[in-house]
Amino acid sequence: MIRVYTDGACRGNPGPGGWAWAVAPDGTPAASGGEAHTTNQRMEIKAALEALRALPGTLVVVSDSTYVVNCIRQRWYATWLKNGWRNSQKKPVANVDLWEPLIQLYLSRRDELEFEWVKGHSGNVMNDLVDALAVSASLGPFDATSPAPRTVAQSSLFDE
């Protein structure tokens, strides 16, 4: 079972943002990317989505985002699917362009995926690593189109 930590960051909300994932225990492999104009919530979802796209097999996705973790663990997605991607107030689900592929991947692999919440900024080494990678990715440079993930080697960020 692979434990992958994910995080998103945004400088301003909205503003430039970054996402990252890294595999425990040593932070490799890892990937990150960013967007010039986004939100923190979008980057949290994007981090989980990119981890699922990149990593095969049985995964525990560890995130400090209750938005991401509760969507899966509390099955918010089931209501969204039943209601045609509308929330309980009958309004369109925010960030559906990211939720839809994430939920599709989750449903196709649900027997091999778990989501776990970790308190952010609490001294968890892996959470601190992906936070630093996401913040670094939020600094750019940004592609005018949807940026491809940047794979990063274990870096000095892990040792800070």
Catalytic annotation, residues: 7-8, 44, 64, 121, 131
Amino acid at residue number 64 = D
E runs forming strands in the chain: 2-10, 15-23, 30-38, 59-63, 113-117, 150-152
SS (H, E, C) 5-33: EEEEEECCCCEEEEEEEEECCCCCCEEEE
**Amino acid at residue number 143:** D
Judge contact between 88 and 79, C-beta under 8 A. yes
